[in-house]
Structure 1
Amino acid sequence: MSRTALLNIDTQQSFQHRDYWQEKDTPAFQQAMLGLIEGCASRSIPVVDIFHVDEDGPFSLQSGYVKPMAFLCHQPAVIFHKHVHNAFTDTGLDRWLRERDINRLIVCGIRTEQCCETTARVACDLGYAVTFVGEATLTFPMTHKVIALSADDLRHRTETVLDGRFADIKTVVETLESL
């Protein structure tokens, strides 16, 4: 029997205080996140909120921004703080999941190619079945040397490298239908 949890990675106000923050993709992200969270909650699937914390800046606890974005109104089953890109290292998340016999994870949140992708990879390596819901992740354009990647490019790249290796790639609807 598969037991499932939804990992909501870094959907926190800290990002709105970074110079790369953009509103362009936010409405679609919010709609996808709310649908996914609501669908999981209605199926008694625990929602786990994970927040990134740094020593200073908008990701520090002192900033007051390490809290859910304003559009989120769910009650998480538990909250973990992380200090690295994945949600498992030194957080207690793995122990919490195993104590509840949870072996399937749904990943969503902010940044698609960083903390969401890294969490999906580590979760797979730890033996969890992972569903990655790209439309319920958010990221921002990046440039490396002369190559610019849009948020859509980064999402596509992440889904491509995860699919069939580290995670099943599904939409919100496909994810909820599979539960």
Structure 2
Amino acid sequence: MTKSALLNIDVQRSFEHRPFWQEDDLPAFQHALSRLIDGCQTRNIPIVDVFHVNPEGVFSLESGWVTPMTFLSHTPQKTVHKHVHNALLESGLDTWLREEGITHLIIAGLRTEQCCETTTRVASDIGYKVTFVTEATMTFPMAHADGGIFSTTAIKRHTELVLADRFATITDVDGVLAELDQAV
């Protein structure tokens, strides 16, 4: 039997203090992530809050910004700090998940193409079944070296393209909740 956990990656106040921060996609992200968390809680799926920590700046513990974004009100079953882009290997999370018998990871959080995508790739490579819930991830526009701007939609589409059927199942909140209901 598959046992699942939701990884809520880097949904922390630190991002609100970065120069690229913008709230264009925030309302949709908040709604999707809140629905996903509520749905997982209702189904007794453990929620793991993952926070990125750096030695200095707004991602340092001393900054006071390595805390959940204010719209979050859940109580996670586990909280870990990471110092690299993936949430599994140096945070102790992989060990905890295996001790709990968890074999399926649901990925959500910030940023779609960075820590969420990297965690997905690593999780798949080390044997987890992974579901990537794109609508419950958020990112920001990025400028290419040639001056071209990649929109959040383009970045998310690219992430889905490179993860689908290689590293993860790509779905939305309704899809993952239906998947969890069928697994019971």
Structure 2 distance, partners of 1:45, 1:173, is: 15
Structure 2 distance, partners of 1:20, 1:89, is: 27
Q: Does 1:13 align with 2:16?
A: no
Structure 1 residues 62-86: Cα deviation after superposition (integer angstroms, max 9, x where no partner)? 0000010000000000100000000
Which amino acid in the other structure matches residue 4 of structure 1?
A: S
Matches within 5 A, 1:102-141: 102-141=102-141
Per-residue deviation at 1:144?
1.1
Which amino acid in the other structure matches residue 91 of structure 2?
A: T
Structure 2: gaps spanning 5 or more residues: none
Structure 2 distance, partners of 1:90, 1:21, is: 27
Structure 1 residues 119-172: Cα deviation after superposition (integer angstroms, max 9, x where no partner)? 000000010000000000000000112221001110010011000000000000
Structure 1 residues 22-68: Cα deviation after superposition (integer angstroms, max 9, x where no partner)? 01000000000000000000000000000000011110000000010
Structure 1 distance, partners of 2:158, 2:51, is: 24
Q: Cα RMSD between the aligned structures? A: 0.5
TM-score, normalised via structure 2 length: 0.96
Match of 1:96 in 2: 96
Structure 2 distance, partners of 1:79, 1:101, is: 17
Which amino acid in the other structure matches residue 150 of structure 2?
A: L
Q: What's the secondary structure of 2:94's corresponding residue?
A: helix
Match of 1:150 in 2: 151
Which amino acid in the other structure matches residue 32 of structure 2?
A: A
Structure 1 distance, partners of 2:19, 2:133, is: 26
Match of 2:79 in 1: 79
Structure 1: gaps spanning 5 or more residues: none
Q: What's the secondary structure of 1:178's corresponding residue?
A: helix
Q: What's the secondary structure of 2:49's corresponding residue?
A: strand
Identify the range of structure 1 (70-79 vs 87-96) with the bigger mean alpha-carbon deviation: 87-96
Match of 1:159 in 2: 160
TM-score, normalised via structure 1 length: 0.99
Which amino acid in the other structure matches residue 163 of structure 2?
A: L
Which amino acid in the other structure matches residue 115 of structure 2?
A: C
Structure 2 distance, partners of 1:13, 1:110, is: 11
Which amino acid in the other structure matches residue 151 of structure 1?
A: T
Per-residue deviation at 1:90?
1.2
Per-residue deviation at 1:89?
2.3
Percent identity of paired positions between Structure 1 and Structure 2: 58
Structure 1 distance, partners of 2:139, 2:116, is: 10
